[in-house]
Amino acid sequence: MSDLVELLLEGLPPDAVATDPDVTAAYRRDMAGFCDAGAPAVVVHPATVEQVQHVMRTATRLRVPVVPQGARTGLSGAANAVDGCIVLSLTKMDRILDIDPVDRTATVEPGVVNAVLSRAVAAHGLAYPPDPSSWESCTIGGNIGTGSGGLCCVKYGVTAEYVLGLDVVLADGRLLRTGRRTAKGVAGYDLTRLFVGAEGTLGIVVRAVLALRPAPAPQLVLAAEFPSTASACDAVCAVMASGHTPSLMELMDRTTVRAVNAMTRMGLPETTEALLLVAFDTPDPAADLDAVGELCRAAGATEVVPAADAAESDLLLEARRQALPAMERLGTTMIDDVAVPRSRLAEMIDGVAAIADRHGLTIGVCAHAGDGNTHPVVVFDAADPAEAARARESFDAIMALGLELGGTITGEHGVGLLKKEWLARELGPVGLELQRGIRSVFDPLGLLNPGKVV
């Protein structure tokens, strides 16, 4: 037994420490493509804060890198192992410790699955809004690490806005408590927010106080077909400029619509260039959809179909939820995550079409249109090295376009390994230097998720 494993076992039960390469190999990577992954020396599954502290103390003592993991549903390689590391899986720490309807807070361990929390708080008439596509399997710790978004963000915001306070085990094993349980608080620098989106590079989140909201009313969805992405984006801008706050505003381009039809036989309209879904969970959603329907028609929609009820609404949302699985049936996929000001959305989507043409590739775009957050999905044949290279080039071209339009290289998926070089470009040298400085304050030995983010 190695020194590392021996020391780990001093503070962890034997079944929480895995070294069998067949087992550890399963923990090498998340769901990102085009990212390297190393071989972990050991995978640990602590069940308590004290055990996490023991792991970090051990790592510090032996100078072993640590890669924290949740459900490994991430799309940027942030959870990929590095050679010889400890993979620190938080999935066993999955208790919901408290739900408080008066304070509208939930206190949870990091391994709680997003959907489990959502259902638990729903029983109290409350909602935890952030709803990434992987919500049935991704964990709150992973959501915090990557700063996850989802479909609801246009009205309800992203993970960062729901994290009030954290317990964090630092690189050296000390426990830090940040933030608050109160609705407001400005005591010192906002360390809580610093950990959101830090992808495990600043410390290990072992407990989170989350803000909840009253459960919204069921949403009613409208579908609108457009003869061009430009006209669909005009409609998006018109809706936002006229003061509406939809609970969801999603766009699927023709490539995506066809892929969904091919998989699901949903019979979505294939003749349109862009399908826009808009939802409201307001007191009178039908009236709001009427108003938005008018704006869509004025922007050039050829067909506007409001759902009559919740069942029809669910069907339309299901089409959107199947977009990525449907694209994945067409070949190997790489999903990008570029957000632009919503006033630039048309330029972004048309620009992606031009990039697809230029690289001779299929790229389908679905977008959280209300947020200007696009997910171009590049499809390619991984067995064809030239095509794979073109895929990677087009992926990068999409990020370059996003920055050119005043956007960001990542709206909600994070940086990880996949976008590390692009992050440097977005931040510039001054920003990068400060970010590295902050990282050194928290992790002077560079043990936490080395090689990721900055």
Residues within window 56-115 making contact with a copy of itself, judged by CB under 8 A: 100-105
Q: Does 326 bind a copy of itself (CB under 8 A)?
A: no
The two most distant CA atoms of the chain are separated, in Å, by: 71
CA distances from 371 to 20, 75, 150, 237 (A): 44, 19, 10, 11
Q: Does 291 bind a copy of itself (CB under 8 A)?
A: no
Other C-beta atoms within 10 Å of 444: how many? Answer: 11
Residue 6 CB, nearest distance to a copy of itself (Å)? Answer: 28
Beta strands in 281-340 (DSSP E): 303-306, 332-335, 338-339
Answer for which of 5, 9, 49, 181 binds a copy of itself (CB under 8 A) is: 181
How far is residue 112's CA from residue 141's CA, in Å, rounded to a whole number? 8
- Span interacting with a copy of itself, options 35-43, 222-230, 305-313, 406-414, rule CB under 8 A: 406-414
Does residue 108 sit in helix, strand or coil?
Answer: strand
Answer for which of 46, 68, 376, 414 binds a copy of itself (CB under 8 A) is: 414
Q: Does 407 bind a copy of itself (CB under 8 A)?
A: yes
Q: Please, which residue, 153 or 307, has the CB nearer to a copy of itself? A: 153
Answer for which of 21, 214, 218, 360 binds a copy of itself (CB under 8 A) is: 214
- Which residues 228-247 are close enough to bind a copy of itself by CB under 8 A? 237, 240-241, 243-245
Q: Does 218 bind a copy of itself (CB under 8 A)?
A: no
Residue 118 CB, nearest distance to a copy of itself (Å)? Answer: 16
Residues 130, 159: contact at Cβ < 8 Å?
yes
- Span interacting with a copy of itself, options 3-11, 20-28, 135-143, 184-192, rule CB under 8 A: 184-192
- Span interacting with a copy of itself, options 38-46, 82-90, 282-290, 310-318, rule CB under 8 A: 282-290
- Span interacting with a copy of itself, options 32-40, 221-229, 272-280, 418-426, rule CB under 8 A: 418-426
CA 310 to chain centre: 26
Other C-beta atoms within 10 Å of 102: how many? Answer: 5
111: which residues sit within 8 A by CB, 6+ positions away? Answer: 70, 90, 91, 92, 93, 94, 139, 140, 141
Q: Does 202 bind a copy of itself (CB under 8 A)?
A: yes
- Compute the Cα dihedral for 278, 281, 287, 288 and give only its sign: negative
Answer for which of 97, 354, 434, 445 binds a copy of itself (CB under 8 A) is: 434
Residues 276, 249: contact at Cβ < 8 Å?
yes
Residues 323, 341: contact at Cβ < 8 Å?
no
Q: Does 258 bind a copy of itself (CB under 8 A)?
A: no
The site string for a copy of itself over 338-377 (x = CB under 8 A, - otherwise) reads -xxxxx------------------------x-xxxx----
How far is residue 26's CA from residue 40's CA, in Å, rounded to a whole number? 10
Residue 53 CB, nearest distance to a copy of itself (Å)? Answer: 12
